[in-house]
Amino acid sequence: MICLTGFVTLLLIFTAEARVGDSSQLNFCSETEQCLLFDSICNSTTYEVRHYESVKWVSTDYKSLSMELMMFQSFWRLYGYITGENEEGKKIDMTAPVLMKIPEKKIFQQGVFTMSFLLPAEYQNNPPQPTNKDVYIQEMPAMNVYVRSHGDMMHTFADKKHCEELSSALRPVNAKYEKGFHYGAGYNRPSWNKKCHSEVWYVVEGDPVCNNSEADDQNPEP
């Protein structure tokens, strides 16, 4: 019985760890050793549907008018955490993507932006606590997301443009997703002279919609 429990626990640890893994498994994730992995559910011509398992991130919130005004400060808080501002004084490897939870808001409105670094597999179960009170560990639940990939660095106008493209692709197929925020995922260090890979994500509500033929089966909304 004890052996069995041990085995099941071990299995759970492995399943959890398997979702933060070797970057060689993702061709667009090449600047860090470990990346966030996912299961691909389906692709339409304009977007992708992925499943992410629950994983832990180190995060910081910042109330701001725009992404540009919060990015550096947030980045340095999280960078502080991975370079030793944690209760064990551990140096923790950088991973990808850097995730931004971006509020859907009017351009001159303030909103809370959340930047997160993914914890490497070896810290997923027992992350050292941050010493900076503005930094916290969070476990994001498992989720399905609608994804659109693009080659721009993350900034307000690129983000807005690609989100609009994604939402216009989702509208005709009647795909439901959580409103009020979206995610921006960046896989590269900032640099002007190289190709980069970024993504916008909407969190799927209900069953993911993969293509038009499926949406045709659904009753149109009044």
Ligand X SMILES: *[C@@H]1O[C@H](CO)[C@@H](O)[C@H](O)[C@H]1NC(C)=O
Q: Which residues bind ligand X (CB under 6 A)?
A: 40, 42-43, 48, 210-211, 213-214
Closer residue to ligand X, CB minimum distance, 43 or 129: 43
In terms of phi and psi (left: phi > 0; alpha: psi -120 to 50; beta: otherwise), the region of 140 is: beta
Closer residue to ligand X, CB minimum distance, 69 or 210: 210
Closer residue to ligand X, CB minimum distance, 24 or 109: 24
Least separation in angstroms between residue 16's CB and ligand X is 22
Least separation in angstroms between residue 8's CB and ligand X is 29
Extract the runs of DSSP E, i.e. beta strands, from the chain.
20-22, 34-36, 39-43, 48-52, 55-64, 98-103, 111-118, 135-140, 143-150, 181-186, 198-203
Closer residue to ligand X, CB minimum distance, 48 or 59: 48
Radius of gyration of the chain (CA): 18
Least separation in angstroms between residue 97's CB and ligand X is 16
Six-digit token string for 124: 């997923």
- How would you write 208-222 as a 3-class SS string? CCCCHHHHHCCCCCC
Six-digit token string for 101: 């939870």
Question: What does the alpha-carbon distance between residue 193 and residue 165 come to, in Å, rounded to a whole number?
Answer: 25
Question: What does the alpha-carbon distance between residue 117 and residue 39 come to, in Å, rounded to a whole number?
Answer: 20
Closer residue to ligand X, CB minimum distance, 61 or 165: 165
Least separation in angstroms between residue 177's CB and ligand X is 18
Least separation in angstroms between residue 192's CB and ligand X is 26
